[in-house]
């Protein structure tokens, strides 16, 4: 060993200290940066006994990142669904805060509550059938019921249209993120090949993946050269070695009942919708597609079934003795242009168009007394043949029809046979149950996300205290090295003085 060797060691110590200080500075300055992974300087003993910073490792944890991304996707999907359901639930919720004593406001504006109001109005009308104001009250209650169905259907349509337009923006976000990802991935692959520090690029890559998982459920795989491939959670390739498979989607601005929105496709293969072979399972896009294609249409179908059931329940049957008998025709409720009663399997769009028959609505020139006597569809349909003022048979028939069992289309999800009032109640139950479930799922998934994020942050984040401790170590090491340098220098001076007598 020579003193000059000691000089070399001291020199490498200074270099190593500087490199470690750089890493610590970077860590400290990014302590608050989301998605930043802590860097660690790997110090090695070099060939002549000094120390070198051989490499800088990024403290990544891909398993935890995957978990964060997966739970983020789930949460985003449930959130999209819950937002839509909350909007739909507003149309049926009975408000607890109402101070009004009247039933209509306390019980909300759901078709179910409005149907009950109609039943109440008919019951009052039955007690005083010749009272025109009681008849008018029936028409008003019927109008409110029709309006409730109209607005419920409009809300379902609005939720679907909003979901459709959100899907469009989600698709454009995904495509833009995929393009960014392809650039970052190229940087990483190139950097790794040349041995450059790619930590910053890797941080960006992870951030993009987390943003992507907000929109769509993904899984990733990293190849030997450091390139990361992205697949949807259903297995469709979105990015692989420089090739971006962009999503394509055409928005549909108007989605009336029964109209289907377009599916999101990758390479011509649909990834949303009930018929998609490889449908995505999570992410906002999946939640929106589920809302647009399954949940909201099902609710809309239930409203249509209620509307069809109403037209049928209040229909007038032939009262004449003509043979063959005439077909039953719409009474109190009808739809514009209706020429007969709707079949239970053919009610699409009825909730949006159902209205009180103009023939009984005084504000449209109609005659309320047709409710008591029948005859909305002409003299063959008059129930009260003698015109007696106290006749209540037709009114009693309508009241009975509200609770009478009738058949419904089972594809609306509420069974095939029920009383109209019970069916309307079941629809409210169905919607609120979906709402409750989605809301609970959102709470649950959000807590999973925050736990996963905490775990990831603890595994890969920066602790200022640790960095500071390391910095103190380096400071001490620097002080000692400087002292060492002075000492060796003194020794050289002493040696030179001894060998060079003045």
Partner 1 sequence: MSATFVSTSYLGTALLPTIAQTQSSLANLEVESSTGQYADLGLQLGDQSGYELSLKNQNDLLQTLTTGNGLVTMNLTASQDALNSLVTDAQNAVSGLTAWNSAGGAADATLQNLGVNALQSLIAATNTTSNGQYVFGGLNSGVAPMADYFSSTPSAAKTAIDSAFQTAFGCLPTDAAASTITAAQMQTFLNGPFAAQFSGSNWTSNWSSASSANASAQIAPGETIETSTNANQPGFQQLAEGYAMLSEFGGSQLSSAAQQTVASAANALITQGLSSITATEAGVGASLQRVTDANASMSSQMTILQTEIGNLDDVNAQAVATQLNTLSTQLQTAYELTAQLQKLSLAQYLPVS
Q: Which residues from 390-429 bind partner 1, rule CB under 8 A?
A: 390-392, 396, 399, 421-422, 425-429
Judged by beta carbon, residue 406 or residue 432, the one nearer partner 1 is 432
Of 84, 131, 134, 141, the closest CA to residue 107 belongs to 141
CA–CA distance, 199 with 242 (Å, rounded to integer): 20
Distance of closest approach, residue 409 Cβ to partner 1, in angstroms: 19
Give the integer Cα–Cα distance in Å for 24 and 178.
32
Say how many C-beta atoms besides its own lie within 10 A of residue 268's C-beta.
6
Q: Return the number of the residue (175 or 432) whose C-beta is nearest partner 1.
A: 432
Residues 73-102 as x/- pattern, contact with partner 1 by CB under 8 A: ----------------x--xxxxxx-----
- Distance, in Å, from the CA atom of 410 to the CA atom of 425, rounded to the nearest integer, reads 16
Shortest distance in whole angstroms from residue 97 CB to partner 1:
5
Q: Does 318 bind partner 1 (CB under 8 A)?
A: no
Is 126:371 a contact under the CB 8 Å cutoff?
Answer: no
The residue among 123 and 237 lying less far from partner 1, judged by its C-beta, is 123
Smaller CB separation from partner 1, 176 or 466: 466
Question: Does residue 386 touch partner 1 according to CB under 8 A?
Answer: yes
CB 134 within 8 A of CB 128: yes
Nearest approach in angstroms of CB 121 to partner 1 is 8
Tell which positions 48-67 bind partner 1, by CB under 8 A.
59
Given a contact cutoff of 8 angstroms between Cβ atoms, the answer to whether 414 and 430 are in contact is: yes
123, 172, 219, 240: which one binds partner 1 (CB under 8 A) = 123
What residues does 248 pair with on adjacent strands?
265
Q: Which residues, 27 to 46, sit near partner 1 by CB under 8 A?
A: 31-32, 34, 38
CA pair distance 252, 246, nearest whole angstrom:
19
CA 446 and chain centroid, separation? 13
In the region spanning residues 218 to 237, those forming contacts with partner 1, defined by CB under 8 A, are: none
Using CB under 8 A as the binding rule, whether residue 109 contacts partner 1 is answered as: no
Q: Min. distance of Cβ 112 from partner 1 in angstroms?
A: 5
* C-alpha separations of 441 from 74, 217, 294, 466, 497 in Å: 9, 16, 18, 37, 83
User: Which of the residues 129 through 148 are near partner 1 (CB under 8 A)?
Assistant: 129-131
Q: Does 441 bind partner 1 (CB under 8 A)?
A: no
Q: Which ranges of 404-463 would DSSP assign to H, the alpha helix?
A: 420-460
């Amino acid at each position: 060993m020579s003193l000059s060797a000691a000089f070399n060691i001291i020199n490498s110590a200074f270099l190593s200290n500087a490199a470690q200080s750089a890493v610590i500075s970077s860590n400290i300055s990014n302590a608050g940066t989301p998605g930043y992974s802590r860097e660690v300087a790997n110090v090695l003993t070099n060939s002549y006994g000094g120390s070198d910073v051989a490499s800088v490792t990024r403290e990544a944890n891909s398993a935890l990142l995957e978990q964060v991304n997966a739970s983020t996707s789930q949460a985003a999907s449930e959130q999209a669904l819950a937002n839509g359901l909350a909007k739909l639930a507003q149309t049926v919720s009975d408000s607890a805060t109402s101070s009004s004593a009247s039933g209509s406001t306390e019980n909300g504006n759901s078709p179910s509550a409005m149907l009950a109001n109609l039943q109440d109005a008919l019951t009052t009308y039955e007690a005083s059938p010749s009272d025109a104001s009681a008849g008018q009250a029936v028409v008003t209650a019927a109008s409110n019921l029709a309006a409730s169905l109209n607005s419920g259907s409009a809300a379902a349509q609005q939720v679907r249209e909003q979901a459709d337009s959100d899907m469009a923006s989600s698709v454009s976000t995904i495509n833009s993120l995929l393009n960014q990802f392809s650039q970052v991935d190229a940087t990483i692959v190139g950097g790794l090949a040349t041995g450059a520090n790619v930590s910053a690029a890797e941080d960006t890559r992870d951030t993009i993946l987390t943003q992507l998982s907000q929109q769509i459920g993904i899984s990733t795989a990293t190849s030997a050269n450091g390139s990361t491939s992205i697949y949807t959670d259903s297995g469709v390739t979105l990015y692989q070695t420089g090739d971006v498979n962009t999503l394509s989607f055409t928005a549909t601005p108007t989605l009336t009942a029964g109209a289907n929105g377009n599916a999101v496709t990758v390479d011509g293969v649909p990834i949303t919708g009930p018929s998609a072979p490889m449908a995505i399972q999570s992410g906002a896009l999946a939640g929106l597609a589920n809302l647009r294609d399954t949940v909201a249409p099902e609710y809309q179908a239930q409203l249509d079934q209620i509307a069809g059931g109403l037209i049928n329940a209040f229909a007038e049957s032939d009262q004449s003795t003509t043979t063959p008998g005439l077909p039953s025709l719409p009474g109190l409720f009808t739809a514009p242009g209706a020429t007969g009663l709707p079949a239970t399997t053919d009610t699409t769009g009825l909730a949006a168009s159902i209205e009180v028959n103009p023939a009984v609505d005084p504000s449209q020139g109609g005659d309320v007394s047709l409710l008591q006597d029948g005859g909305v569809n002409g003299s063959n349909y008059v129930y009260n043949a003698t015109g007696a003022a106290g006749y209540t048979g037709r009114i009693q028939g309508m009241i009975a029809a509200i609770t009478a069992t009738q058949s419904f289309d089972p594809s609306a999800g509420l069974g095939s046979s029920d009383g109209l009032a019970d069916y309307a109640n079941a629809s409210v139950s169905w919607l609120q149950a979906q709402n409750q479930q989605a809301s609970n799922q959102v709470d649950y998934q959000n807590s999973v996300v925050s736990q996963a994020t905490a775990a990831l942050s603890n595994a890969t984040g920066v602790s200022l205290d640790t960095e500071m401790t390391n910095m103190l170590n380096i400071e001490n090491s620097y002080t000692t090295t400087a002292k060492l340098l002075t000492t060796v220098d003194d020794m050289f001076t002493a040696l030179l003085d001894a060998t060079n007598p003045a």
